[in-house]
């Protein structure tokens, strides 16, 4: 049940809408009084949620104002809701592409030379990750501890991250902590990620992921801190790149677990 609630939340239903929709599915039709008794949600809140569910096409009603009953539409209609959201996002992307040339700041040249931005929360981290996923070079130099944001956050997002990285054909040089329990990579993954083990002295002493790409450096915290820093600076990029090269030379070759 928790998985169902999580999925419905991910596609845009609130917790209240989910509770009401799932409760109503057990009946051919149901009234607000019955929904209030089953869910424990206040009647005024139920009315509001039913109205928003009707706008989403997931609830219909029948009867009169004094004897009104609600019918939960077939769960297959949820797929239609997702398709509708996809179309809306595609339209918004097209509209944004049209106005982007008009949104360039007057000091854009200065901003591209050196810029340090700090982001908070899941949404902020995802913005930084998108910058890395859509880098021009399609290559990363990355340092990552065994436990990091990507390994501990929502699996659905981790799958999206991996799939988008593959679709973008991003190659990398990866420096990892040695972890005997890590899943063995496939030959294709080894080719794309080009992993090596960090010097032992670094193991257990850091929790953030660092990704070097283009003229930028992204530092993504663990799930505990939920923050990220994006540095755009040729000089700072070169400094971190030189540090990475030194660690790369001191690293050990990746070994598949047998």
Alpha helices, DSSP H, located in 65-205: 77-99, 108-113, 121-133, 149-152, 155-167, 187-193
What are the distances in angstroms from CA 69 to CA 41, 42, 116, 194, 252? 17, 17, 56, 60, 68
- The pLDDT of residue 66: 67
As a whole number of angstroms, the distance between CA 173 and CA 178 comes to 15
**Full pLDDT tens readout for the chain, 258 residues:** 677 878 787 777 889 999 999 999 889 899 999 999 999 999 999 999 999 888 877 888 887 666 788 998 887 777 777 777 777 788 888 888 888 777 766 655 554 567 888 999 888 888 899 999 999 999 999 999 988 888 888 778 888 888 888 888 999 999 999 877 777 778 888 888 899 999 999 988 999 999 999 999 999 999 888 899 999 999 999 999 999 999 999 999 887 665
Q: Contact at 8 Å (CB) between 175 and 142? A: yes
Q: Contact at 8 Å (CB) between 173 and 248? A: yes
As a whole number of angstroms, the distance between CA 191 and CA 24 comes to 51
Query: 95: buried, middle or exposed (CB in 10 Å: 19+, 13-18, 0-12)?
Result: exposed
CATH number of 2-72: 1.10.10.10
- The pLDDT of residue 251: 94
> What is the DSSP secondary structure assignment for residue 168, as one 8-state letter?
T
The count of other CB atoms within 10 Å of the CB of residue 202 is 16
CA atoms within a 13 Å half-sphere pointing along the CA-CB vector of 45: 13
The count of other CB atoms within 10 Å of the CB of residue 7 is 13
As a whole number of angstroms, the distance between CA 220 and CA 129 comes to 8
Assigned architecture for domain 108-253: 2-Layer Sandwich (3.30)
- The pLDDT of residue 109: 53
What are the sequence ranges of the domains in the chain? 2-72, 108-253
pTM value surpassing 0.75 = no
- The pLDDT of residue 55: 82
What are the distances in angstroms from CA 22 to CA 2, 40, 72, 94, 170? 12, 13, 8, 35, 41
As a whole number of angstroms, the distance between CA 88 and CA 171 comes to 32
């Amino acid at each position: 049940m928790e998985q169902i609630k999580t999925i419905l939340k991910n596609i845009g239903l609130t917790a209240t809408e989910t509770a009401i929709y799932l409760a109503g599915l057990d009946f051919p039709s149901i009234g607000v009084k019955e929904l209030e008794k089953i869910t424990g949600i206040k009647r005024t809140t139920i009315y509001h949620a039913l109205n928003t569910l009707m706008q989403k096409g997931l609830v219909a009603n029948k009867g009169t104002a004094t004897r009104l009953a609600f019918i939960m539409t077939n769960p297959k209609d949820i797929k239609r809701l997702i398709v509708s959201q996809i179309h809306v996002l595609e339209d918004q992307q097209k509209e944004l592409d049209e106005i982007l040339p008009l949104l360039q700041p007057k000091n854009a040249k200065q901003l591209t030379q050196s810029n340090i931005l700090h982001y908070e929360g899941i949404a902020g981290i995802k913005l930084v990750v998108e910058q890395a996923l859509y880098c021009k070079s399609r290559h990363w130099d990355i340092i990552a501890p065994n436990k990091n944001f990507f390994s501990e956050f929502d699996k659905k997002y981790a799958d999206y991250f991996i799939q988008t990285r593959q679709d973008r054909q991003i190659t990398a040089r990866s420096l990892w902590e040695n972890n005997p329990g890590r899943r063995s990579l496939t030959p294709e993954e080894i080719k794309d990620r080009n992993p090596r083990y960090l010097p032992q002295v670094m193991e257990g002493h850091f929790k953030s992921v660092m990704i070097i790409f283009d003229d930028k450096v992204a530092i993504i915290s663990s799930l505990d801190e939920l923050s990220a820093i994006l540095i755009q600076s040729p000089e700072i990029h070169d400094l971190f790149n030189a540090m990475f090269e030194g660690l790369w030379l001191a690293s050990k070759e990746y070994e598949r677990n047998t």
